[in-house]
Structure 1
Amino acid sequence: MIPLAVSYASPSVLESGRDSQLLGLAANDHRPVRLVARVRNPLLFRFCLQTLGSLVWSDDTWISDDEWTAFTLDPVVTVHPDRIMFEAFSRDQSAYGLLIIDRDQFETSGQVSCGTTNVDFTAWLYGALAEMRSSRTTTFRVEAGGIEVSTRQAGGRFEQKVELPESWVRGFLNISAAMAFPGTRLRAEPVDMLAVIRYLQQHKAKTAPRALRYEMIPGREAEIVVEPFETRFPLVGANHGYPKPRIIRTWGRRRLRLIEPLLPYAEHVEIYLKGRAMPSFYAVGLPGYTFVLGLSGWTANSLTTGTGFAAGSSVSDSAVDRALMLLQQQYHIDVETLCAAATMDKPTAMAALETLIRRGRAVFDVQARRVRYRELLAEPIDEAKIYPPDPRLVQVERWHREGAVHIRDTILRKTTKTRQFKLDGQWIQRQVDLRDRVLTGRVGEQEEVEVVLDDEGRIIFGRCGCDHFVSYALSKGPCAHLMALERQSRRHLHDPSALKSTANPISSLPNEGTEVLLDDNNEYDDE
């Protein structure tokens, strides 16, 4: 457990009059931030906060209250010069919510203090949000000093000494690492997603399988297939650009109902699929607002379990310090910016940013593909306490000491694909070169190991015959054999004699009709 002191000057309140209303969120005194502003669109503001509240208090576990000891911590709020972010977990810790609001949606008053804090967000406040009306002038206030106008009615200062489970912190770190993980992006119309959710509400599957199956066939728009009914829902305009058929399955589909209230007002929905039984993300885009719903591979697979996607990369402390300094100055950066500003190669820059995410000092913006500065806790996180010893890393170190890792072949793979981009409101097509490194070799007792790395040095695919890979593929992170081969590849990275070039995928990569467990990171270029 991690001791956490939370102090509020007064409870959060919602006060309504005939012509005006005030939503005051009390911030943690130990981590002060300040924002007082008039809300330009009270209706969307209310719906988005209600959706976040629905997520905070939702629980889809199929066990009794006596068996389940849920932990709920107040949402984390981050104020940046260009946006405000709310982050929260569901009670069963299988769903994550990120509400992003552009700063131009507020008319600020007085000084704005940027930073990250917890806010008092009770079940009472969640219910009271229904009293907000778009016809009233709405003031939003988040401040550590408390809400003076309501202190007499709502009570005075109160403090909480919370024993924060390591699993809760690990969940926040894992979710950012999962968002940064390679995958497939589809852009869907809100009405198509609404049709899927309404169909699931009206049809209850009594037999397996119960997955949502995303099918991407060349020359056709992507489709969602609801199992076991095999009902198809075409995603109009969801171009994927795959030259071969791809199928990705996700489970725990009933949790999609959380975003249903937002869809009638949404402009688009971006779907981020990380692979079969891996986390998926749904970014609902509204005018000036974005609500990102992150779901674990299935309901019982909590985002807080294991090390998952947050397996650490080897990088120097100086590289991490330079990345942190730049992030604190600019609030958000991408890999290319860090490479140019700190004179790093892409794998080193990516590893430095991943380390900051792992330490709770940054969060990944899945839409902009950028890393944002966010201190999850007031004190630096002790990685050794948050992450249990990973036997995979111990095994990797042992194999390297024993000289049991051998790379037989390293191939530079270049693939040219057509991508759609939106420029000045118009859709255009461009040719994009995708570059990967495909390594094959022997690790320990495994004679045939294959790993595919993107241009940032991350594992995006692999093949191995070990029990871990056969059971989980990449849904619980790569196996020790893939990790060992990836680490060995760093020694070959700058050795031209070890590389062979090819313009076509090697024969051992997925063939047509094969279900893909993880797709290429560059598919995020799709619109």
Structure 2
Amino acid sequence: LKDPLPFREAISALHDIVISDLRYVPKDKSALEEHQKRIAQRETAIRQGAATARREELRAESLDPMPEGLEAEHRIARDKYWRARQRYSDHLIRNDQSLWRKLMPCDPVITVAEDSLLFECFSADESSYGCLTASRDLFDDVTDVAPGTTNVDYSWNLYDHFQGLRSYRQTRFQLDPTGFEVATNETLLDAPLENSAYQAFGGQHREEKIDLPSTWLRGFMQLQSAMVMPMKRVRIDRSGVYNLLAFLTRSRAKKSPRAIRFQMEPGKVPQMVLEPWEQVISTGTVAYEGIADVIRIWGRDRLQVLRRLLPLIDYVDVYLIGTGMPSFWVAHMGDLQLVLGLSGWTTNDWSGSSAISQLMPPMHVAENELVEIAAAFRADASMTFERLAGGLSMPRPKIAAGLNTLAHLGQVIHDLPAQTYRWRQVMPEPVTSEQFGPEDPETAAAHEIEKSGRAKATRDETLPSGLRLIEGKADRDGLEILLDGDGRILKAKCSCSHHFKYGLRKGPCRHLQALRNKVISTSTQPATLERWYQQYWN
């Protein structure tokens, strides 16, 4: 590694993405819960004593006493185990984050390409994506290189080892299918690992390959498929990034909306407007070239990971798909580029997946066509869309749909800094639906209701308070939804059993989801492949 310091800062920012978890954490009510638990235990003991006495009386009267309820005992023991496991996890988060971090499934994917080295990661709350691209020019000596992909755990030990990178020490990376190793010292890089002088100058650290959890794969692939889509680009200079982060650090919105609104007009410098303050921040001096548009995105609190990179950043390119869709912030730092993908939701739940699903092609691509597209990458693992389309005989809409599908299967990645598509296999074989894990049944049922046309809105009104009131039906009459400025459901009304039992605590029921998807603008999906291509790609 020629210059370790920029790499140290960039890879440390990637670690901030890995451990990022902005999910809501309720107040600590452990003392109250413990008091209530003791009261409940006393009441339970009294009831159990009375029940036991009565049961003994009945057994004495019965000629054929009933056996003990094994199923009930099993259910009680299982509930006790999961409650204890959740309490232990919460305890580690508050008191021993190092141990909690070692137990977390946060698994960076490392890819060796012909011209670069890629480190990809996904945040703990599955809402942020990071990709650090290191150019081959960043390294002095590169030997025994073969393209491939592996995944390791970005542990605290590995993070601490990266903090030891210095300009006066040589740094060596070693990657193989089983893991990733970093070695630092001054002059003894070729010395044996057991050499005491080698250990004194920094030593080495190795992370072994680990398995990827299904929820990680689902969210990771959703953002990967979104990255493949063509996007509008807005360039922000370093001062614009500083002004944005400085204002967000000083200010804290107490009510919605909390979006960044990009206002783009051809020939003019784009502007960022921070809601709800309506604070205008200029992106710099580069004029926008394209069709006039206004796009609102969410997830701005996660931009704070860029603070550490401000001294290194030359400029940042922001890639936008549409309102409520993921956005990608590409920080250019010479031979290093960091891609920060913001999904726009805090947890990888129904609201995010329903929006992402609208980007998918409206029809499946045949397996033989996917094989043909994949075969084109054998000659060159990195190609632009124009070059790929020129080498294939199938129509451009089919190629675009094929790239989207391959990205969702973990086989292709869109390299935004280089504006090329790379062949990158997260898994040795294409990811299957079984590895993704089952889709939420309420969300799946909502898609079915919406596709069959059984959802209909009878009222869609913006109230004086700025909230949006929606009334309608979706397999049930009398549905009501109240949305805030960010499109989130604040209150809802439905007569189904799911809503009666859980309310909104486990996400809206299928009927509310279907009605919401019917009326929000992001749910309008092209009916044909040609229209999909014209809307997103052309």
Report the residue type matching 1:149 in the other structure.
Answer: L
The alpha-carbon deviation at position 117 of structure 1 amounts to 0.4
Spell out, residue by residue over 1:101-153, the C-alpha distance to the aligned partner (whole angstroms, 9 max, x if none): 11121123431122000134211221332222122222222234876727998
Report the residue type matching 1:349 in the other structure.
Answer: I
Is 1:250–1:297's contact at 8 Å kept on the other side of the alignment?
yes
Aligned CA distance change for structure 1 residues 300 and 151 (closer, same or farther; 3 Å): farther
When normalised by structure 1's length, the TM-score is: 0.64
Q: Which residue of 2 aligns with 1:74?
A: 107
Q: Which residue of 2 aligns with 1:54?
A: 16
Report the residue type matching 1:249 in the other structure.
Answer: R
Q: Which residue of 1 aligns with 2:193?
A: 149
The alignment partner of 1:363 has SS state of strand
CA distance in 1, matches of 2:241, 2:521: 28
Q: Which residue of 1 aligns with 2:155?
A: 122
Q: Does 1:203 align with 2:251?
A: yes
Q: Which residue of 1 aligns with 2:140?
A: 107
The alpha-carbon deviation at position 290 of structure 1 amounts to 0.5
CA distance in 2, matches of 1:150, 1:320: 49
CA distance in 2, matches of 1:204, 1:55: 21
Count of residues in correspondence between the two structures: 384
Is 2:450–2:517's contact at 8 Å kept on the other side of the alignment?
no
Spell out, residue by residue over 1:378-418, the C-alpha distance to the aligned partner (whole angstroms, 9 max, x if none): 3332236537575688679979xxxxxxxxxxxxxxxxxxx
Aligned CA distance change for structure 1 residues 141 and 489 (closer, same or farther; 3 Å): closer
CA distance in 2, matches of 1:250, 1:156: 39
The alpha-carbon deviation at position 375 of structure 1 amounts to 1.0
Report the residue type matching 1:380 in the other structure.
Answer: P
CA distance in 2, matches of 1:294, 1:221: 23
Q: Does 1:378 align with 2:428?
A: yes
Aligned CA distance change for structure 1 residues 262 and 299 (closer, same or farther; 3 Å): same
Give the counterpart of 1:353 among 387, 391, 403.
Answer: 403
Aligned CA distance change for structure 1 residues 230 and 383 (closer, same or farther; 3 Å): same
Is 1:177–1:358's contact at 8 Å kept on the other side of the alignment?
yes
Structure 1 residues without counterparts, runs of 5 or longer = 1-38, 400-465, 494-517, 523-527
CA distance in 1, matches of 2:236, 2:132: 19
Is 1:251–1:299's contact at 8 Å kept on the other side of the alignment?
no
Instruction: Please list, as runs of the form range in 1=range in 2, the aligned pairs for 1:240-259 lying within 5 A after superposition.
Output: 240-242=288-290, 244=292, 246-259=293-306
The alpha-carbon deviation at position 371 of structure 1 amounts to 1.8
CA distance in 1, matches of 2:516, 2:379: 41
The alignment partner of 2:377 has SS state of helix
Q: Does 1:316 align with 2:360?
A: no
CA distance in 1, matches of 2:364, 2:111: 29
Spell out, residue by residue over 1:490-527, the C-alpha distance to the aligned partner (whole angstroms, 9 max, x if none): 9xx9xxxxxxxxxxxxxxxxxxxxxxxx99656xxxxx
The alpha-carbon deviation at position 86 of structure 1 amounts to 0.6
Is 1:94–1:301's contact at 8 Å kept on the other side of the alignment?
yes
Spell out, residue by residue over 1:254-274, the C-alpha distance to the aligned partner (whole angstroms, 9 max, x if none): 110111211221111100122
Is 2:106–2:123's contact at 8 Å kept on the other side of the alignment?
no
**Structure with greater proportional strand content:** 1
CA distance in 2, matches of 1:286, 1:159: 29
Q: Which residue of 2 aligns with 1:191?
A: 239
Q: Which has the higher contact order (CA 8 A, sep 6+)?
A: 1
Is 2:112–2:146's contact at 8 Å kept on the other side of the alignment?
yes
CA distance in 1, matches of 2:130, 2:378: 24
Q: Which residue of 1 aligns with 2:342?
A: 295
When normalised by structure 2's length, the TM-score is: 0.63
Is 2:119–2:133's contact at 8 Å kept on the other side of the alignment?
yes
Is 1:263–1:284's contact at 8 Å kept on the other side of the alignment?
no
Q: Which residue of 2 aligns with 1:439?
A: none
Report the residue type matching 1:189 in the other structure.
Answer: D
Q: Which residue of 1 aligns with 2:414?
A: 364
The alpha-carbon deviation at position 367 of structure 1 amounts to 3.4
The alpha-carbon deviation at position 199 of structure 1 amounts to 1.4
Is 2:225–2:405's contact at 8 Å kept on the other side of the alignment?
no
Q: Does 1:214 align with 2:262?
A: yes
